[in-house]
Amino acid sequence: MRFVDEFRDADTAHALSAKITALCEPGRQYKLMEVCGGHTHTIYKHGLEDYLPEQITLVHGPGCPVCVIPMGRVDDAMALASEPDVIMTSFGDMMRVPGSHGSFFDAKAHGTDIRMVYSPLDSLKIARKNPDKRVVFMAIGFETTAPSTAMTVLRAAAEGLTNFSIFCNHVTIVPAIKAILDSPDLRLDGFLGPGHVSTVIGCRPYEFIARDYGKPVVVAGFEPLDILQSIYMLMLQLSEGRAEIENQYSRVVPWNGNTVALKAIGQTMELRPYFEWRGLGFISHSALKVREDYAAFDAERLFSVPGVRVADPKACQCGEVLKGVLKPWECKVFGTACTPETPIGTCMVSPEGACAAYYNYGRLTRQRVKEASGT
Amino acid sequence: MTADQGGGAGPAQAGWVAEALRVHEQEEQQHERRGSPQPLPGTVREELVLERIDRARRSRPRIKEDRITMSHGAGGKATQTLIEAMFLSEFSNPLLEPLEDAARLNVGGARLALTTDSFVVSPLFFPGGNIGDLAVNGTVNDLATSGATPLYLSAGFILEEGFEVAELGRIVASMKQAATAAAVQIVTGDTKVVERGKADGCYINTAGVGVIEHDLDLGVAYAQPGDAIIVSGPIGDHGVTIMLARGELDIEADVISDTAPLNGLVAGLLAATDGVRALRDATRGGVATILNEIAKSAGVGVLVNENDIPVRTEVRGACELLGIDPMYVACEGRLVAVTAPEAADQALAALRAHPLGERAAVIGHVTADPPGLVQLKTAFGGTRIVDLLVGDPLPRIC
Amino acid sequence: MCLGIPGEVIEFLPDQPDLARVDVSGVRRVINIGLLADDPPKPGEWVLIHVGFALSKIDEDEAASAMQFLEGIGQAYDDELAALAESRIE
């Protein structure tokens, strides 16, 4: 596969690994955060940690849009799905996320019409095919996905559809990064910037990280070599005492982002004054809602949504995992009471969650890895 | 209308979490009472946690849901739990315990294999086949992988009121063709009709009987460290075909189902070498599920190499597009063989000599450690585990 | 969710300027290219696909220079390994 296979070459990986190790100052520990859930997934799926020296620890960040949805919003979505004549449509990742009364998947077993879609446009198709039903699209994701939702709303408006709306749970990445930077628990040396979010917002929004916090950022692609090269670039900056924003994923990420995408978002959505993030609490100006002009497509205005706040269960340490304070296996319920089969928290449910990635791919001690691969 | 809450009146609680924790606490205490092995001195915290997880995974399966969900039919963890906690625990007997594809019976001196299968695939017709030949081939394969020569099938039809007779005719004609190709006969059957809205057109249930004519005792429980693991051809064709045939994803590709009877392939294999320890056909849940069954059943580890696993380019493309791993995607005409290390070359040659096994390949080996775990050496050179999925990204595959 | 896949643009759909058919490893799907309205892709060009939309064009020059860097590292590594194998310090 072009633009994929070339970036998965094992020999180059060894070379990069050697260069990264060479840049490590003896006796110094490095903590690098990969913000994006997609990066966490790649790291575990390809066993990338095997290529890094002991001195470098990768800290998993909050860039998993499913993971940060609080239980109360899931309950709200379930309430919407249970409304008469509603067909709820959602990406696959949301299907198992537990609210206080089960997940979409459970609701489906009880007879609620909930359908998995690959694209918000599929949801529109369902709306066209079912004029007597009201179709709601569960819109989740960072700025990567918001433009697609926005374009879908614009299309719905252009076609004059009256039975389509979105339940908007889009969140923005920069406030989450800022919350991490301001957190006293963490001392990070650098960031692997979110690759696909940056195709929309560009690289400028991260400049404050270098300028105000003195930390380097490398916007990284999602293939294993992309990540290794980005780590190399971060280590180079650290060894040279620089703190800059660099773009490793330049084949896809334009420095100034995608203006058309930003315009579409701006036309249909606006920032909420504040929004609750699972584990991170309330963050101001961190999420999007539908603009007044497009009220006809806003499920929150068309339906009565409970809006109940549900506290994160005390046993659930998703918050700390999302902030990178805890490694998945350090959570007290990881793998025992909380498993992919019986998830308590979102980090275990979402394919991009750190806990799911670790449980499904990385649940091996370093010792066994050495023995197995004969290294 | 949503009230943007600022945390006014105290937030609600998710009661089920406390309940889940309480139940888990009880299980942990039971473990302690039964006496668990002491951790080795100097064990790192991470290792302790991994050990705790292993214990949790080994504990008695319990069904936690109060309603059946689609996961229970996916062939992954939920299905396993349902089978063990519900069916095995109730029907419990030594013939059922091995939970292989077919039961092996001794009847009046003859060794027989008996299997049953139900087919609920949607859509009924797809590139490469339909529910009918799927039913015949699937049943034949369950018998073949038990080392039996398939002989007789039964076919029970559950038809939906309103289903077109002509379509039923096409299905039945395919079944006749498939049976002839596999040299089996359909000797008994049943027909039921249910009201419009049930049975999605047509469901088929089969049973199959075969005779075991050699001395080999095949079973995944017999896998030993050092054994080779062979797959008979490219994986994931059937699952991807069905997914695309559903038409919901607007994807076109030249993939067809790999549904085929494997008895000829198996006969050739067993004639060429007696070093075969186990055979399984990779259906729902894909190759990954079989590897996990080997690891769990024999208490061994499995290590496979991503580079050695044959996958068609289009199947890879479709899987990448949808974020699905081909290892979990169903096949309907592929087998996984576990052989003694010295028998691997002969086994491979025998498979490749047959049209259905042209692209057979050794994909990995059985290891002593870590028991019960399947590891994958990625194309990239790193290592990760391949666990059972809870559900299935592609429901109603077969 | 971050899932973005590279695909090659095959053709536009007649009467639907926003849509194009792309090929991903032999698999074809129609996607919406509306987000690239400022600089629409032409058949033969590659785009990044995410939930049915093209988010960005893949810049072949940038990809080539990324590959050059990586290959260079690989080559330098191979050279060093070779040098290591050949050198003697006693």
Q: Do A195 and C2 touch (CB under 8 A)?
A: yes
Percent of chain B residues topping a pLDDT of 90: 62
Interface of A with B in 317-356 (CB under 8 A): 327, 329-330, 333-337, 339-342, 344, 351
In this complex, the residue of B7, B24, B50 whose CB is nearest that of residue A337 is B24
Of the pLDDT bands very low, low, confident and very high (cuts 50, 70, 90), residue B183 is very high
Asked if A46 has any chain B CB less than 8 Å from its own CB, the reply is yes
Of the pLDDT bands very low, low, confident and very high (cuts 50, 70, 90), residue A375 is very low
Q: Which residues of A touch C2 (CB under 8 A)?
A: 36-39, 41, 63, 144, 194-197, 222, 352
Closest approach of A65 to chain B, Cα-based (Å): 16
pLDDT at A178: 93
pLDDT top residue among A6 and B200: B200
Q: Please state which of the ranges A127-141, A342-356, C68-82 shows the lowest mean pLDDT.
A: C68-82
Of the pLDDT bands very low, low, confident and very high (cuts 50, 70, 90), residue B32 is low
Supply the mean pLDDT for chain B: 87
The helix (run of H) or strand (run of E) holding residue B103 is strand B103-107
Q: Do C27 and B317 touch (CB under 8 A)?
A: yes
Three-state SS across chain A? CCCCHHHHCHHHHHHHHHHHHHCCCCCCCEEEEEEEHHHHHHHHHCCHHHHCCCCEEEEEEEECCCCCCCHHHHHHHHHHHHCCCEEEEECHHHCCCCEECECHHHHHHCCCCEEECCCHHHHHHHHHHCCCCEEEEEEEECCCCHHHHHHHHHHHHHHCCCCEEEEEEEECHHHHHHHHHHCCCCCCCEEEECHHHHHHHCCHHHHHHHHHHCCCEEECCCCHHHHHHHHHHHHHHHHCCCCCEEECCCCCCCCCCCHHHHHHHHHHEEECCEEEECCCEEEECCEEEECHHHHHHEHHHHCCCCCCCECCCCCCCHHHHHHCCCCHHHCCCECCCECCCCCCCHHHHCCCCHHHHHHHHHCCCHHHHHHHHCC
- What mean pLDDT comes out for the span A10-31? 91
Residues sharing a CB contact under 8 Å with residue A200, sequence separation 6 or more, in sequence order: A143, A144, A146, A147, A257, A258, A261, A262, C55
- What mean pLDDT comes out for the span A15-26? 92
Q: Do C32 and A37 touch (CB under 8 A)?
A: no
- What mean pLDDT comes out for the span B49-57? 75
Q: Is the pLDDT of residue B157 over 50?
A: yes
Q: Do C2 and A36 touch (CB under 8 A)?
A: yes
- What mean pLDDT comes out for the span C13-28? 88
d(CA B275, CA B325): 31
- What mean pLDDT comes out for the span A273-278? 92
Closest approach of C89 to chain A, Cα-based (Å): 21
pLDDT at A351: 74
pLDDT top residue among C10 and B42: C10
Other chains touching B, judged by 3 or more CB pairs under 8 Å? A, C
Q: What is the pLDDT of residues B72-86, one digit of tens each?
A: 888 888 888 899 999
Which residue has 């020059």 as its token pair? C61
Other chains touching C, judged by 3 or more CB pairs under 8 Å? A, B
Q: Is the pLDDT of residue B224 over 60?
A: yes
Of the pLDDT bands very low, low, confident and very high (cuts 50, 70, 90), residue C87 is low
pLDDT at B40: 47
Mutation site, A251, A253, A263, interface C, largest C CB count within 10 A? A251
Q: Do B251 and C29 touch (CB under 8 A)?
A: yes
Q: What is the pLDDT of residues A245-268, one digit of tens each?
A: 999 999 999 999 999 999 999 999
pLDDT at A183: 85
Q: Is the pLDDT of residue A293 over 90?
A: yes
CA-based nearest residue to A33, from A206, A283, A265: A206
Q: What is the pLDDT of residues A216-252, one digit of tens each?
A: 999 999 989 999 999 999 999 999 999 999 999 999 9
Of the pLDDT bands very low, low, confident and very high (cuts 50, 70, 90), residue A368 is low
Q: Which residues is A139 bridged to in the sheet? A: A168
Q: What is the pLDDT of residues A316-356, one digit of tens each?
A: 888 888 888 888 888 888 888 888 878 888 888 887 788 98
Other chains touching A, judged by 3 or more CB pairs under 8 Å? B, C
Percent of chain A residues topping a pLDDT of 70: 97
The helix (run of H) or strand (run of E) holding residue B348 is helix B344-352
d(CA A254, CA A59): 26
In this complex, the residue of B64, B303, B384 whose CB is nearest that of residue A45 is B384
pLDDT at B112: 95
Of the pLDDT bands very low, low, confident and very high (cuts 50, 70, 90), residue B3 is very low
What pTM does this model have? 0.84
Of the pLDDT bands very low, low, confident and very high (cuts 50, 70, 90), residue B320 is confident
Q: Which residues of A touch B248 (CB under 8 A)?
A: 122
Return the SS3 of B319.
helix
pLDDT top residue among A130 and B369: A130
Characterize the bridge pairing of strands B149-160 and B202-211.
Answer: antiparallel
Please say whether the beta carbons of B226 and B320 come within 8 A.
Answer: no
Interface of C with B in 24-83 (CB under 8 A): 24-30, 49
> What 8-state DSSP symbol labels residue B345?
H
- What mean pLDDT comes out for the span C33-42? 94
pLDDT at B257: 95
pLDDT at A14: 87
Q: Which two tokens stand for residue A293?
A: 């002009």
Q: Is the pLDDT of residue B8 over 70?
A: no
d(CA C48, CA A213): 32
CA distances from B139 to B185, B262, B287, B393 (A): 12, 10, 18, 24
Asked if A372 has any chain B CB less than 8 Å from its own CB, the reply is yes
In this complex, the residue of C38, C52, C67 whose CB is nearest that of residue A260 is C38
Q: Do A334 and B44 touch (CB under 8 A)?
A: no
Characterize the bridge pairing of strands C27-32 and B251-252.
Answer: antiparallel
Mutation site, B374, B380, B386, B387, interface A, largest A CB count within 10 A? B380
Q: Is the pLDDT of residue A141 over 90?
A: yes
Q: Which residues of A touch B64 (CB under 8 A)?
A: 342
Q: Which residues of C touch A251 (CB under 8 A)?
A: 58-60, 62-63, 66
Q: Do A109 and B69 touch (CB under 8 A)?
A: yes
User: Which amino acid would we find at residue B310?
Assistant: P
Q: Is the pLDDT of residue B43 over 60?
A: no
Q: Which residues of A touch C6 (CB under 8 A)?
A: 1-4
| Residue B115, phi-psi category: left (phi > 0), alpha (psi -120 to 50), beta (remainder) | beta
Q: Is the ipTM of this complex over 0.95?
A: no
pLDDT at B393: 58
Rounded-to-10 torsion of CA A75, A79, A80, A83: 170
pLDDT at B10: 57
Return the SS3 of B54.
helix
pLDDT at A345: 85
In this complex, the residue of A47, A92, A313 whose CB is nearest that of residue B378 is A47
Interface of B with C in 291-330 (CB under 8 A): 313-314, 316-318, 320-321, 323
pLDDT at A278: 85
Q: Is the pLDDT of residue B57 over 90?
A: no
d(CA A38, CA A246): 19
Q: Which of A301-310, B20-29, C80-89 has the highest mean pLDDT?
A: A301-310
- What mean pLDDT comes out for the span B140-146? 95
In this complex, the residue of C3, C34, C37 whose CB is nearest that of residue A38 is C3
Q: Do C29 and B314 touch (CB under 8 A)?
A: no
Supply the mean pLDDT for chain A: 90
Q: Do A315 and B381 touch (CB under 8 A)?
A: no
pLDDT top residue among A166 and B249: A166
